[in-house]
């Protein structure tokens, strides 16, 4: 969605990809946008815009397709208080009858500027992405796409906004958006394109910690801007900051280039905002619980988030699938290549998490074992191939956890870890360890660092570009490899990369440390690989894996286990009884409540608990340990 400028080579690609403005002879519009966030704690934002106009119909859009969310989930339902005036008169408007994000304003003769005012009703619900809860009593993240309209007819990078933001008294802020002036709680930003504005959210709060990640004066600068619901949540031990410094240097060692003027990790620590990560070219909007930095266990569980979003600055923002490179937020995004955009990012994010020290090699392997096991128990693979999880991403992002083993979900994330590990292993094998996916990264993501006065650029790619680059690193049937990965309906997960790297997935009755942490901190019980049930710690069944024992007996999602072998359900009772099935002579008896009715199910199960681990494949070289070793830092 970014129209690159000033570079002849990229301009050629851009002309092919972007539709030209319909009013090419007119000057691209310049708007002002004043956002009042002083009422963020009560979850309402006010905005005023001035929009150049001429008599007739002025067509405005509210951003619909949100970059990085790969879906038409702009929160138009939360747009309220919309009013337009021109020369002091109220102007009539009507919503487009076939597109809820399009507003038509009637502009009378003599009016050259339309003033718009609107409110954004920031939700309290925590499920979702940037459109979900984003403001608490002590902090907020302002996503500009939620508080603006833009005129039709121009690509987002040609429309200029002069934005200002007013914060609650005493709140500090962090953002990658260049600031023109800052006085008290009022910030004036430098004029920026709509593209850059939407790509540059602002984090703000009463408790805001700024942590520089590179030496002062070095270009480009890197910092963390962390807002929390308490001062105590920011008080992480020194090694945490060192890990993030390592992340910056390990990413540079991997890619050999940077494509931003400045990078800001915007990190929200709150139990009252939605938890997710959203990438931007020069920042990321990542949100975890309030104890995400100070609780060592929680820190391990969320460790992969910032590395993932940071990788996106290269993979997703700088290099972007051509069919996701749209000119504005109205044109639909096509998501056929998320297996690269998200899949490769998931793999590289995990690898960088280990290389920067946030996971040790054992923790990396435990995560990988969990990924392999989960995908190996997804019978939905037999009807929905990996390509279809890409193609239907815009609906799968909003699918519930119930039935996920049969529906599948946005599996191109975890399956990308397995597939790109496999690709990494193939390159290492084909080149006798002379090359690796690191070489592909240096080749595919090469390019100059933008100067301080240049917006970052986008270099779109196709499957052909990807296959050609892989072949330059190591000649191989890459097209055939990816075709098989994307179209197979095999019942089992692609574990060739794990096996080729010298390891295999095994199951024991002892949970790994990462499995244990996930169960404790997420209040869940993983019995998917034994009887085929995913449970919450109150016995509620989240999923019953199709084809496994519990599902075959008639148990399904939404039911609740109330007793196990005649004893009231607790997580401890569950684990004890399941473990004892190995030596028990009778069946496992589950008393289950289903919509107010109770039924006892007997499962003839004697396998004990089943938790995944990686075990060394003797005789095979241990490529996995090489992969997670830190690179010589730059």
Residues binding Zn ion (CB under 5 A): 342
Residue 585 CA from chain centroid, whole number: 47
C-alpha torsion sign, points 293, 294, 297, 298: negative
Q: How far is the CB of 440 from Zn ion (least distance, A)?
A: 19
CB of 429 to Zn ion, least distance (A): 28
Helix (H) or strand (E) holding 611: strand 611-616
Closest-CB residue for Zn ion?
A: 342
Judging by beta carbons within 10 Å of its beta carbon (0-12, 13-18, 19+), is residue 359 exposed, middle or buried? buried
Nearer to Zn ion, 102 or 389 (CB): 389
Min dist. Cβ of residue 600 to Zn ion (A): 44
Q: How far is the CB of 396 from Zn ion (least distance, A)?
A: 14
Q: What b-and-e string marks burial along 211-227, b requiring 16 or more CB atoms within 10 Å of the CB?
A: bebbeeeeebbbbbbbb
Q: Please, are residues 229 and 171 in contact by the beta-carbon 8 Å criterion? A: no
Q: Which C-beta is closer to Zn ion: that of 236 or that of 340? A: 340
Question: How near is the Cβ of 617 to Zn ion at its closest, in Å?
Answer: 31
Residue 311 or 470: the one with the smaller Cβ distance to Zn ion is: 311
Q: Is 487 in a helix, a strand, or coil? A: helix
- Between residues 334 and 578, which has the closer beta carbon with respect to Zn ion? 334
Backbone angles phi, psi at 520, to 5 degrees: -65, -55
Question: Two tokens at 383?
Answer: 């009807």
3-state secondary structure of 266: strand
Tell me the two tokens of residue 529: 């690989």
Q: Please, which residue, 298 or 342, has the CB nearer to Zn ion?
A: 342
Residue with tokens 């002025």: 58
Looking at beta carbons only, is 282 or 342 nearer to Zn ion? 342
Least separation, in Å, of the C-beta of 484 and Zn ion? 24
CB-CB contact of 352 with 311 (8 Å)? yes
Cβ neighbors of 553 (< 8 A, separation 6 or more) are 601, 602, 603
CA–CA gap between residue 387 and residue 496 (Å, rounded)? 19
* Phi-psi region at 391: left, alpha or beta (left = phi > 0; alpha = psi -120 to 50): alpha
Q: Token pair of 162, please?
A: 């002069």
CB of 69 to Zn ion, least distance (A): 10
β strands within 122-248, DSSP E: 139-142, 150-151, 160-166, 172-175, 179-183, 186-189, 192-193, 202-205, 207-212, 222-228
**Between 291 and 342, whose beta carbon lies closer to Zn ion?**
342
Choice between 107 and 396, CB closer to Zn ion:
396
Q: Provide the minimum distance between the beta carbon of 345 and Zn ion in the complex, in angstroms, as a whole number.
A: 5
Beta strands in 108-217 (DSSP E): 113-121, 139-142, 150-151, 160-166, 172-175, 179-183, 186-189, 192-193, 202-205, 207-212
Residue 623: CB minimum distance to Zn ion, A: 25
Please check whether residue 422 is in contact with residue 347, taking contact to mean a CB–CB distance below 8 angstroms: no
CB 546 → Zn ion: shortest distance, Å? 28
Considering the complex, state which of residue 245 and residue 280 has its C-beta at the smaller distance from Zn ion. Answer: 280
Contact 346, 455 (CB under 8 A): no
In whole angstroms, how close is the CB of 624 to Zn ion at the nearest point? Answer: 23
Q: Given the complex with Zn ion, which of 115 and 342 has the nearer CB atom?
A: 342
Asked if 227 and 208 touch (Cβ cutoff 8 Å), the reply is: yes
CB of 349 to Zn ion, least distance (A): 8
- Please, what is the minimum distance in Å from the beta carbon of residue 461 to Zn ion? 17
Residues 286-290: contacts with CB under 8 Å, at least 24 apart: 287/141, 290/228, 290/229, 290/230, 290/233
Using the minimum distance from each CB to Zn ion, give the nearer residue, 69 or 119.
69
Q: How far is the CB of 1 from Zn ion (least distance, A)?
A: 16
Residue number, 342 or 363, with CB nearest to Zn ion: 342
Nearer to Zn ion, 71 or 549 (CB): 71
Is-cis flag, bond preceding 58, omega within 30? Answer: no
- Which CB sits closer to Zn ion, 243 or 342? 342
Mutual angle of helices 343-355 and 361-375, in 10-degree steps:
160
Query: What's the CA gap between 232 and 240, in Å, rounded?
Result: 15
């Amino acid at each position: 969605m970014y129209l690159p400028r000033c570079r002849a080579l990229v301009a050629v690609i851009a002309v092919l990809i972007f539709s030209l403005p319909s009013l090419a002879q007119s000057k691209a519009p310049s708007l002002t946008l004043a956002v009042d966030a002083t009422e963020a704690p009560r979850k309402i934002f006010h905005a005023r815009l001035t929009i150049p106009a001429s008599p007739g119909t002025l067509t405005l859009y509210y951003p619909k397709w949100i970059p990085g969310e790969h879906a038409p989930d702009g929160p138009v339902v939360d747009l309220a208080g919309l009013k337009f005036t021109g020369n002091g008169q109220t102007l009539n408007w009507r919503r487009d009858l076939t597109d809820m994000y399009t507003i038509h304003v009637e502009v009378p003769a003599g009016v050259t500027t339309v003033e718009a005012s609107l409110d954004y009703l920031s939700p309290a619900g925590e499920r979702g992405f940037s459109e979900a809860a984003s403001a608490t009593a002590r902090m907020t993240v302002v996503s500009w796409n939620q508080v603006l309209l833009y005129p039709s007819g121009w690509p987002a990078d040609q429309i200029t906004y002069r934005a200002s933001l007013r914060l609650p008294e005493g709140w500090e802020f962090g953002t990658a958006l260049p600031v023109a002036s800052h006085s008290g709680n009022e910030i004036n930003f430098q004029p920026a394109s709509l593209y850059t504005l939407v790509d540059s959210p602002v984090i703000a709060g009463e408790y805001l910690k700024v942590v520089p990640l590179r030496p002062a004066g070095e270009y480009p600068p890197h910092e963390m801007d962390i807002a929390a619901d308490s001062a105590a949540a920011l008080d992480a031990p020194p090694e945490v900051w060192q890990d993030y410094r390592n992340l910056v240097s390990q990413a540079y060692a991997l890619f050999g280039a940077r494509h931003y003027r400045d990078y800001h990790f915007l990190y929200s620590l709150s139990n009252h905002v939605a938890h997710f990560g959203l990438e931007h070219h020069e920042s990321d909007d990542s949100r975890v619980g309030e104890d995400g930095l100070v609780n060592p266990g929680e820190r391990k569980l969320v460790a992969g988030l910032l590395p993932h979003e940071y990788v996106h600055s290269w993979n997703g923002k700088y290099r972007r699938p051509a069919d996701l490179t749209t000119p504005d937020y109205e044109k639909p995004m096509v998501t056929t290549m998320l297996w690269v955009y998200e899949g490769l990012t998931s793999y590289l994010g995990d690898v960088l998490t280990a290389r920067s020290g946030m996971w040790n090699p054992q923790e990396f392997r435990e995560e990988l074992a969990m990924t392999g096991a989960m995908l190996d128990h997804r019978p939905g693979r037999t009807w929905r191939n990996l390509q279809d999880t890409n193609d239907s991403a815009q609906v799968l992002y909003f699918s519930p956890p119930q039935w996920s083993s049969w529906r599948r979900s946005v599996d191109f994330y975890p399956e990308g870890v397995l597939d790109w590990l496999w690709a990494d292993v193939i390159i290492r094998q084909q080149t006798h360890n002379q090359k690796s996916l690191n070489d592909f990264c240096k080749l595919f993501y090469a390019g100059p660092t933008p100067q301080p006065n240049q917006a970052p650029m986008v270099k779109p790619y196709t499957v052909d570009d990807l296959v050609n680059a892989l072949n330059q690193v190591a000649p191989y049937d890459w097209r055939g490899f990816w075709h098989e990965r994307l179209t197979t309906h095999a019942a089992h997960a692609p574990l060739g990369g794990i096996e080729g790297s010298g390891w295999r997935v095994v199951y024991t009755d002892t949970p790994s440390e990462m499995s244990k942490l996930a169960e404790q901190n997420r209040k869940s019980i993983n019995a998917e690989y034994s009887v085929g049930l995913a449970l919450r710690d109150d016995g509620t069944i989240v999923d019953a894996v199709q084809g496994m024992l519990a599902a075959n007996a008639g148990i399904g999602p939404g039911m609740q286990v109330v007793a196990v072998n005649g004893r009231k359900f607790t997580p401890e009772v569950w684990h004890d009884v399941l473990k004892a099935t190995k030596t028990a002579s009778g069946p496992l008896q589950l008393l289950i409540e289903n919509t107010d009715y109770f039924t006892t199910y007997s499962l003839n199960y004697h396998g004990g608990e089943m938790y995944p681990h990686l075990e060394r494949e003797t005789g095979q070289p241990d490529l996995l340990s090489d992969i997670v070793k830190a690179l010589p830092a730059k």
